[in-house]
Amino acid sequence: MMTRLRRLPSVTIICILIFEATISGQSIKIPLHSPDLAENVDYHSFGSMMILKHSIGKFHKLPKNPVLTFSRNSWDSRDVSDPFVLVTADTVYLFYDGSRGGKYSLGYAVRDPDGWSWMKKSKLTGSNNGQWDSYHQIDPYLIPVKGEWRLYYSGNSSDSEFGYQVGVAVKRENRDWFYPPENPVLAVDSTSWDFAGNIYSSIVYLPEQNIFRMWYTGFQGSLSGIGLAESGDGFRWEKIGSGPVLNIFPGVISPAVIYNGEKYAMYFVQLSLGNKYRTKICLMESKDGIHWENREDILLPTEKWEGNKLMKPNLSYFEGRVHLYYCAQKGSSWQIGAAAAEATFVEKGVWRSKIMKEKIRELKIKYEQPEGTSLKVFIIDQKSGLRAPLSLDRAMPIRKNVYSKSINGFNIQGDWQVELQLETTVENRSPVIYEINFN
């Protein structure tokens, strides 16, 4: 166990700048997850954004697949795989792993301004000097939480299917990326059911309870199941139960779990036996994250470029649709594809912050307002009881349909609240709230 923080190699410095502006400085962020009132809104399913409550329709593969492929004479010249999409008001990021010469590393791309393609940027990590993740670093999963960025991933010290462990790198304001001393955070344990390795994690943060839940693939020799671990800080994890929470013969791997505040949905990969080794992406639901039911096939390998294997599903919401990214292998190379589904939203919802006691000079909101939707913002003065509407006119555009608006000139003498009203006249569109800050 390491006794001090290790900085990531210098190749990561290039990506620090893209995150710097997203970590709040002197302003105070109003948490969406702890409201005084919330009706018909969902601030759990897709990271830290808030949208109207909804149901997800059927996924259809995009006609321009694959959406990300390998590049000649680059660090990802053989494979690109294991996609993870992070959506912010400013940028949509696609994290992935790639290989050249057998070793895997992590990198990222960003959505182009017109939303037609992905622009590759940089490799994020390099060699770690013989440590547990020195040969392979795969399966990125990045979450912004508690004022920092946490990049979870799977690492291996040799070129083997077994022996993977889960670790994390952290970026805090005005600091370089570093490895916490708890790494690997989910280590191989010879006495556990998953003694042959832990890989492909999916993490849900439940801010109301201050609990992290991680579903991951555990290997029992050549057999695989999906296990569950929990943590109070995201660094020290305790495995739940004495075996996997999902175990379907001949094996299930690579979970992607979303939680809408009421139930869990797990998209995962199921193996099949036969003349050809095939995999497909399935879906199951759960009320507690432990007991799963209602199995459904979501995507099958039907396209020529996919071969027989679909892997590593990832769910995100941007550009007005729910996206399912995945990777597929034909021959010896992996590429990344995508499918999309329309969501059906309720007509209106309301959200009201907890009572704020800090003095307010300026309120800043970043939001998305597609055609056919509306967003109304009010500030409530607790002392006077006045409920004043705030204008979003002349908001600054950030990207398509996404805006930033700063509002000042407040004359509030005491406690106050912010209220948001989200509405849509188009059933498959919703306003999106990315963040609310004040100073």
Amino acid making up residue 245: V
The answer to whether residues 275 and 396 belong to one domain is no
Q: What is the per-residue pLDDT for 126?
A: 55
Rg (CA), the chain: 22
Q: Domains in the chain: how many in total?
A: 2
Q: What is the per-residue pLDDT for 221?
A: 83
- Residue of 87, 94, 83 lying closest to 144 (CA atoms): 87
Residues 138, 339, 33, 411, CA torsion sign? positive
Question: Which two structure tokens, joined as six digits, stand for 315?
Answer: 């769910």
CATH number at residue 401: 2.60.120.260
The answer to whether residues 217 and 266 belong to one domain is yes
Q: What is the per-residue pLDDT for 113?
A: 83
The answer to whether residues 330 and 371 belong to one domain is no
Q: What is the DSSP string of 119-183?
A: EEEEE-----TTSTTSSEEEEEEEEEETTEEEEEEEEESSS-SS--EEEEEEEETTS--EE-TT-
The answer to whether residues 371 and 430 belong to one domain is yes
Q: What is the per-residue pLDDT for 129?
A: 55
Among 344, 365, 387, the domain boundary falls at: 344
In a domain, 260, yes or no: yes
Amino acid making up residue 143: I
Q: How many other C-beta atoms can be found within 10 angstroms of the C-beta atom of residue 224?
A: 24
Scanning the structure block, which residue is given the tokens 């979303």? 258
In a domain, 398, yes or no: yes
Among 291, 320, 344, the domain boundary falls at: 344
Give residue 320's domain range: 6-19+56-344
In a domain, 426, yes or no: yes
In a domain, 1, yes or no: no
Q: What is the per-residue pLDDT for 274?
A: 67
Question: Which two structure tokens, joined as six digits, stand for 197?
Answer: 């390795």
Q: How many other C-beta atoms can be found within 10 angstroms of the C-beta atom of residue 236?
A: 11
The answer to whether residues 107 and 120 belong to one domain is yes
Task: Evaluate whether 336 touches 68 at the Cβ level (below 8 Å).
Answer: yes
CATH number at residue 197: 2.115.10.20
What are the E-state strand segments in 211-301? 211-220, 223-231, 237-239, 252-259, 264-272, 278-286, 293-299
pLDDT beneath 70, residues of the chain: 1-25, 125-130, 274-276
The answer to whether residues 180 and 235 belong to one domain is yes
